[in-house]
Chains A and B, each alone.
Chain A
Amino acid sequence: MSSLDAIPVTAEVATGNVKPLLYEVRHALKRLANGEDGTVIDLRSIPLAPGEEERIEELLGKGEVRAELDALGPSVVQETSYPGVWLVTHSNTEQVVVGRFIEVTHMPELLKSQQADIEHGISRLEQELEN
């Protein structure tokens, strides 16, 4: 491994997509503030050079809320330092990232309890109470 590390590799590339993405986020935030619908941006659909996704994360920063989900593998919903801008990372049970989204919304859908699950829970609770 050490001989591989000895190869100095410095890739200095950029797609130039970081700034436009942030402009899109700003546009979406303004719409949200005006009472319009939220926006979801799929980070996988935009060509990004190595390191640019990290740069976007760095620029967005971390906010006050961090939620960890455990559904078909771990997911992390992190509010960024810009309120209303959430970074959602879905991973599978092998810790492999299967989806990355920027959600501009008051509350990401996935954090809310789902109707079907609530109803399922009611039947479980009723069963529990009968015993």
Chain B
Amino acid sequence: MRKDQSLGEYLRAQGVSRRGFLKFCSATASMMALPPSALAQVAEALENARRPSVIWLSFQECTGCTESLTRSHAPTVESLIFDAISLDYHHTLQAAAGHGAEEARMAAMEENAGEYLLVVDGSIPVGNPAYSTIAGISNLDMLKETAANAFAIVAVGTCAAFGGLPHADPNPTGAVAVSDIITDKPIINVSGCPPIPVVITGVLAHFLTFGAIPELDALGRPAAFFGQNIHDRCYRRPFYERGQFAETFDDEGARKGWCLYKLGCKGPTTYNACATLKWNAGTSFPIQSGHGCIGCSEPNFWDKGGFYNPISAGMWGSREALLGAAAAGAALGVGSALAARRRQKKAQGTEI
């Protein structure tokens, strides 16, 4: 697609009819969690949308976020959105390699200064920048350099948004999130491990449609997708209210689809769209498949006491510590009793 073509012109050149375009807009509006009444506005916006340059930097990551987004090679709505952007740099998807790839990145940054979208997945190691480098450039340097002239940054995945798995205790590489390094650009955190594909493309679609970043919550995540917690939208909620819990993964309760709170579900403290949008084009989500939510879109979800310990269980330490406390208390008791006896003996002068 030519850079100067609008999205509407591009789709028409691909042989997509107006009817097809309207179907595309209606599915896109649905993906952005916009009401159907916004269709006309979305259609007009997408008709005239320019093709933004997107640079995608992959740092300390597992590539799961890219996988989540690009699973299908057929023209799904998601991939059409992807087609509509000019993906000028992406390790997994680009054909170029080595110096050629880095030159392409620099060229894109210069040509689109101030207008390109920077997408980052993976955390950035600051403990020793040598832990993760690309073409000899540390992640830290590459992020700072590329972010300098970006319009906005999309931190895709919990690693980029909050540090993710590398950040988990004891954080050997000193992994940090994008927002810990870049503080002067708007950052959209699309967290999740991985994020739901439509959430990623919904954010890109929003950017395409409105040319601006969507409304964000306190953690910088798009409120449209991260505004509700899983618990409030979970179809198993009635079982939670009635106190019907599965105790193990194969008991009667589990077979009947009861609440997974006791098996460690972190739904009540996790904000994401899994319970409504679901995964694999609306097929299912972890709870529906019988496993509790692990809270993957929240910061530090790896260190919340374990995936299989309920939220109410707390992380209270060890039995040894409590036994030690009992011993210490007993010692104090003995000490104070002895002191009291001595005082009494002195006061009374005799052994009564």
Do A and B touch each other in the complex, judged by CB within 8 A? yes
Binding site for B on A (CB under 8 A): 7-16, 40-42, 44-50, 69, 71-73, 75, 90, 92-94, 96-99, 101, 109-110, 113-117, 120
B5 within 8 A of A: no
State the main secondary structure of chain A at its contact with B: loop
B275 and A47 form a contact (CB under 8 A): yes
User: Which among A45, A46, A90, A93 is the interface contact of B75 at CB below 8 angstroms?
Assistant: A93
- Report the bound CA distance from A114 to B18 in whole Å: 6
A49 and B281 form a contact (CB under 8 A): no
- Report the bound CA distance from A120 to B16 in whole Å: 12
Residues in B whose Cβ lies below 8 Å from that of A45: 30, 33, 35, 276
B17 and A114 form a contact (CB under 8 A): yes
- Report the bound CA distance from A122 to B284 in whole Å: 46
B76 and A7 form a contact (CB under 8 A): no
- Of B12, B18, B238, B256, most buried by chain A (CB within 10 Å of CB) is B18
A13 and B281 form a contact (CB under 8 A): no
Q: Which of B20-28, B97-105, B324-332 contacts A (4 or more CB under 8 A)?
A: B20-28
Closest to B75 in A: A93
B281 and A98 form a contact (CB under 8 A): yes
Residues in B whose Cβ lies below 8 Å from that of A71: 16-17, 19-20, 23
Q: State which residues 59-78 of B face A: CB under 8 Å.
A: 72, 74-77
Given known A-B contacts A13-B236, A94-B74, A97-B282, A72 and B23 have beta carbons under 8 A apart: yes
B300 within 8 A of A: no
Closest to B74 in A: A94
24 contacts between A and B (CB under 8 A): A7-B255, A12-B256, A15-B235, A16-B238, A40-B37, A40-B39, A41-B36, A42-B35, A42-B36, A45-B35, A45-B276, A48-B235, A50-B235, A50-B288, A92-B74, A93-B75, A94-B72, A96-B76, A96-B281, A98-B30, A98-B281, A99-B23, A110-B19, A117-B18
Give 14 A-B pairs besides A13-B235, A16-B238, A44-B277 with Cβ atoms closer than 8 angstroms: A11-B256, A11-B257, A13-B239, A13-B257, A40-B39, A47-B276, A49-B235, A50-B284, A71-B16, A72-B24, A73-B75, A93-B74, A93-B76, A96-B76
A72 and B255 form a contact (CB under 8 A): no
- Report the bound CA distance from A15 to B239 in whole Å: 11
B90 within 8 A of A: no
- Rounded to whole Å, the gap between the CB of A16 and the closest CB of chain B is 8
A94 and B255 form a contact (CB under 8 A): no
User: Which among A8, A40, A93 is the interface contact of B255 at CB below 8 angstroms?
Assistant: A8
User: Which among B75, B276, B277 is the interface contact of A92 at CB below 8 angstroms?
Assistant: B75
- Report the bound CA distance from A5 to B284 in whole Å: 18
Given known A-B contacts A7-B255, A71-B17, A13 and B238 have beta carbons under 8 A apart: yes
Interface mask (B220-258 → A, CB under 8 Å = 1, otherwise 0): 000000000000010110110000000000000001110
Residues in B whose Cβ lies below 8 Å from that of A114: 17-19, 22
Residues in A whose Cβ lies below 8 Å from that of B282: 44, 97
User: Which among B76, B256, B284 is the interface contact of A98 at CB below 8 angstroms?
Assistant: B76
- Report the bound CA distance from A45 to B350 in whole Å: 84
Residues in A whose Cβ lies below 8 Å from that of B18: 114-117
- Report the bound CA distance from A13 to B260 in whole Å: 14
- Rounded to whole Å, the gap between the CB of A47 and the closest CB of chain B is 5
Closest to B233 in A: A47
B255 and A99 form a contact (CB under 8 A): no
A72 and B16 form a contact (CB under 8 A): yes
